[in-house]
Structure 1
Amino acid sequence: MKRKSFTMLAIIMILSVALAACNSKNEQSSPSSSEPATASGEQANAAGGNYTIGISLPAADHGWMGALISNTKTEAEKHKNIESIVYTAKDPAKQTSDIEDLITKKVDAIVMLPIESAALTPAAEKVAKAGIPLIVIDRAVNSESYRLYIGGDNYGIGYGDAKYLVEDLIKRNGKAEGKVVEISGVPSSVTDLRSKGFRDYIKDYPDVQIIASQPGDFTREKALKAMENILQANKEIDAVYSQDDDMTVGIVQAIKDAKREDEMFIVSSGGMQEIFKMMKEKAKPEVVVSLTYSPTMGGSAVSLATLILEGKGIQGLWEKSVPHHIVLEATPVTPDNVDNFLDPDSKY
């Protein structure tokens, strides 16, 4: 899918390691306070140094973010030689202030998931100027000021969703033709890459038309409202491209409220159990695919930050340092294979 180098690196990560966070359950925590919390762990690391890691994350306004916050804290608590300072924020200004505070505290490394890519780029550059290793999760910043980026294959998600959408249109209509709407996320590299991947695929199918696109900001409430507006303005819709499973829940509700669930289908991403259950039950409107985007990357970011501070590479790789850029593969979950992904213990 035009992402061979990223996919190979993702496979190396999956086969080689050992990151403790990858064994964590996708548990959702309750929304965290914006006040800092500290945590020290129960498990000693091999290296003797003691470190402080600052963690700056968006507040848990949807299930995926709640699970990521939980996984990040869980991994930090495993390391006896790591003290963590955790901030959550609801807007870029507060997150910028949190980052500046962590710089003032002279933490040894900072793990950040930017609320918005562009808005947090200056803060990322301040971290670099302070000589503090920056680990960026999920949404990239608009500069190379970070030591490590770890996230999912967002371009691949958009490209893959488009592939499934076109294939389903052919099954239903006999040809690649249909009216499609898009519900996108917040302004960020994640949203931009998912939109680009989607459009790059469907540009070869001129009769597949994007007739509307509105932001749902990765929340089911805003996605519901956006979809309501689109339904009112468009009397014929064949398919919906949702950039996130939480948003898909709101989209489904809007379609049901309009009594148009037999008219269209949805392609989505995230890997949320609520969507998997819809697939299993063959609920309508039908969700034909959800490409996984695991919140365990938060725990992996902390584990990788620890390796960076200890001057270690990833076990199983010949390189003696952690890579600069890690992209995790997106796995398609469909009604045909959903049984392999249902997890009654998962909170996401």
Structure 2
Amino acid sequence: MTVLRSTRSRGIRVAAGLGVLVVVAAGCTGNSADDGTGSQSSAPRAASDNDAPGKKVVIGFSGPAADHGWLGAINSAAKAEAGKYSDVEFRTAEGTNDASLQISQIETFINDKVDAIVLLPTDGAALTEVATKAMNAGIQVVNVDREFSSPFAARTTILGDNYGMGVSAGTYACKLVKDKNLSNPVIAEIAGIDALPLTQDRSKGFADALKACGQTVDNRVAAAFTVESGEKEASNLLQAAKKIDIIWNHDDDQGIGVMQAFDNANRHEFAFIGGAGSSNAMQWIKDGKMEATVIYPPTQAADGVRLARLLVQQKGLSDLVQVEVPRRIVLNAPVVTKANVDKYLPLGFKS
């Protein structure tokens, strides 16, 4: 989805589905748990009423320039999430793709002695030093989407799953092959920028999942996460492949151009799978113009805001026995189809 997003971990999925991390289970601390020995366990539990107002938390947020639908959703979702809490003072720096400017923004937050910083870095390596400085100053840093190069630069890291996106798309493609009883299916892929690790991870996940059902990618082009490049590369793909059964496009923003190419060529005979989860894609699914899309959660910074608040208030995730916020959280990459699109539609971002 974003041109600069870094490679994602394929670690433990702590939060799945909608990417909502904090689930309020009001009143559960009043329930005693049987430890299996017949006695009642007195082991401490994570806070249960996490949304109740608590200690005031000042959070500084620095994110990217909103030059892409997914990036715009990242910023707006973070601001909206902070607005839900009366105990959060949210300070937003201007969105930027300039690492030097973003470093100065973090320096300002440090000087202002904010309680926490939620940071989606323009470049993880470039922002590592200043993020470490913030941590050393006692500020809780939540790293979002593009990882720092040192574990000391953040208290916790929240990520999407690029490899998992590919696996989800490939697994769904395998299901289509079986359900449609396709013999010798032609499977195509419209990737993003090939030089980026995120694209490489998505493609590898897709290929690995297809391999599990004996399939391969027959035709592949790489675009640049833009509408124009999507249309151009999809047109090239259609000219090269006279028969296609399934197409996976990595990014729903570039998918607008991809769909235009399909319309221009009057080619809609294939199952079209997208990636990211834009509102455009979800509407196409509802209208029957698109088979599915794979979510790359635009909630990551919003989830980061929640985590930052919990960290400062010394709370944990209410659905975990562990009483502290985990060090690393990788969000799930679910497949959205006509059967479940209404569930995910509220998370769809405008391309």
Query: Structure 2 length normalisation: TM-score?
Result: 0.74
The equivalent of 1:115 in structure 2 is 122
Alignment pair present for 1:223 and 2:230: yes
Question: Between Structure 1 and Structure 2, whose CA radius of gyration is higher?
Answer: 2
Q: Is the 8 A contact 2:186 2:243 kept in 1?
A: no
The equivalent of 1:30 in structure 2 is none
Q: What are the Cα deviations for residues 152-211 of structure 1, in whole angstroms up to 9, with x where unaligned?
A: 343322101011223334556733542422322697665443233223223446652354
3-state SS in 2 of match to 1:208:
coil
Alignment pair present for 1:322 and 2:325: yes
Alignment of 1:163-174 (within 5 A): 163-169=171-177, 174=182
Equivalent position amino acid for 2:205 in 1 = G
Equivalent position amino acid for 1:197 in 2 = G
3-state SS in 2 of match to 1:141:
coil
Given the superposition, is the C-alpha separation of residues 207 and 305 from structure 1 closer, same or farther in structure 2, using an over 3 Å criterion? closer
Give how far 1:288 is off: 2.0
3-state SS in 1 of match to 2:164:
helix
The separation in 2 between residues aligned to 1:179 and 1:311, in whole angstroms, is 49
The equivalent of 2:316 in structure 1 is 313
The equivalent of 2:41 in structure 1 is none
The runs of 5 or more residues in structure 1 that have no matched partner are 20-42
Given the superposition, is the C-alpha separation of residues 135 and 339 from structure 1 closer, same or farther in structure 2, using an over 3 Å criterion? closer
Which of 132, 136, 141 is the matching residue for 1:134?
A: 141
The equivalent of 1:143 in structure 2 is 150
Given the superposition, is the C-alpha separation of residues 201 and 45 from structure 1 closer, same or farther in structure 2, using an over 3 Å criterion? same
The equivalent of 1:85 in structure 2 is 91
The equivalent of 2:209 in structure 1 is 201
Q: Is the 8 A contact 2:125 2:148 kept in 1?
A: yes
The separation in 2 between residues aligned to 1:192 and 1:128, in whole angstroms, is 31
Q: Is the 8 A contact 1:18 1:315 kept in 2?
A: yes
The equivalent of 1:66 in structure 2 is 72
Identity within the alignment, %: 34
The equivalent of 2:39 in structure 1 is none
Given the superposition, is the C-alpha separation of residues 66 and 275 from structure 1 closer, same or farther in structure 2, using an over 3 Å criterion? same
Given the superposition, is the C-alpha separation of residues 143 and 201 from structure 1 closer, same or farther in structure 2, using an over 3 Å criterion? farther
The separation in 1 between residues aligned to 2:265 and 2:215, in whole angstroms, is 26
Given the superposition, is the C-alpha separation of residues 189 and 117 from structure 1 closer, same or farther in structure 2, using an over 3 Å criterion? farther
The runs of 5 or more residues in structure 2 that have no matched partner are 1-8, 26-50
The equivalent of 2:284 in structure 1 is 278
The equivalent of 2:4 in structure 1 is none
3-state SS in 2 of match to 1:326:
strand
Q: Is the 8 A contact 2:279 2:345 kept in 1?
A: yes
Give how far 1:135 is off: 0.7
Given the superposition, is the C-alpha separation of residues 8 and 79 from structure 1 closer, same or farther in structure 2, using an over 3 Å criterion? closer
The equivalent of 1:37 in structure 2 is none
The separation in 1 between residues aligned to 2:194 and 2:304, in whole angstroms, is 22
RMSD: 3.6
The separation in 2 between residues aligned to 1:63 and 1:243, in whole angstroms, is 14
Q: Is the 8 A contact 1:177 1:208 kept in 2?
A: no
3-state SS in 1 of match to 2:291:
strand
Alignment pair present for 1:259 and 2:259: no
Alignment pair present for 1:241 and 2:248: yes
Q: Is the 8 A contact 1:111 1:134 kept in 2?
A: yes
Given the superposition, is the C-alpha separation of residues 253 and 94 from structure 1 closer, same or farther in structure 2, using an over 3 Å criterion? farther
Q: Is the 8 A contact 1:312 1:321 kept in 2?
A: yes
Q: Is the 8 A contact 1:44 1:81 kept in 2?
A: no
The equivalent of 1:162 in structure 2 is 170
The separation in 1 between residues aligned to 2:164 and 2:122, in whole angstroms, is 21
3-state SS in 2 of match to 1:194:
helix
Alignment of 1:16-35 (within 5 A): 17-18=23-24
**Larger deviation, residues 147-156 vs 178-187:** 178-187
Q: Is the 8 A contact 1:290 1:333 kept in 2?
A: yes
Q: Is the 8 A contact 2:221 2:234 kept in 1?
A: no
Which of 156, 160, 179 is the matching residue for 1:152?
A: 160
Q: Is the 8 A contact 2:194 2:222 kept in 1?
A: no
Which of 282, 301, 305 is the matching residue for 2:304?
A: 301
The equivalent of 2:105 in structure 1 is 98
Q: May I ask how many residue pairs the two structures share in their alignment? A: 314
Query: Structure 1 length normalisation: TM-score?
Result: 0.74
3-state SS in 1 of match to 2:217:
strand
The equivalent of 1:45 in structure 2 is 53
The equivalent of 1:180 in structure 2 is 188
